[in-house]
């Protein structure tokens, strides 16, 4: 159920995720996330499933520690330099 914010207000009580991007598939959300992570250094942004809307959203994982953020950035950098040399 992918709907805009105005339609969302008529369907249920407003939630924090109502104004976020709605992605039909996890693959689509992951693609958007990768583009975001290429622009933003050291981010705790993740993809999560929203059962209220039946879609996928991007959101900050407040439980992700600094060690995980740095490790994820190291992996991302390693993958981006493999084909570039």
Mean pLDDT of 8-20: 69
Please give the radius of gyration of the chain, using alpha carbons only, rounded to the nearest integer.
15
Rounded to the nearest 5 percent, the helix, strand and coil shares of the chain are 50, 15, 35
Round to whole Å and give the CA distance between 27 and 44: 18
12 CB-near residues (< 8 Å, 6+ apart): 52
Count of domains observed in the chain: 1
From the list 75, 83, 85, the residue with the least C-alpha distance to 37 is 75
Per-residue pLDDT tens digits for 24-67: 999 999 999 888 888 887 888 889 998 888 899 998 888 888 88
Range(s) of the domain holding residue 64: 5-82
Higher per-residue pLDDT: 12 or 80: 12
């Amino acid at each position: 159920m992918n709907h805009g914010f105005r339609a969302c207000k008529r369907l249920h009580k407003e939630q924090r995720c109502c104004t976020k991007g709605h992605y039909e598939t996890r693959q689509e959300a992951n693609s958007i996330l990768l583009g975001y992570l290429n622009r933003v250094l050291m981010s705790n942004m993740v993809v999560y499933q929203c059962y209220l809307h039946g879609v996928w959203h991007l959101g900050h994982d407040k439980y992700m520690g600094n060690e995980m953020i740095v490790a994820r950035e190291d992996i991302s950098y390693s993958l981006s330099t493999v084909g570039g040399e």
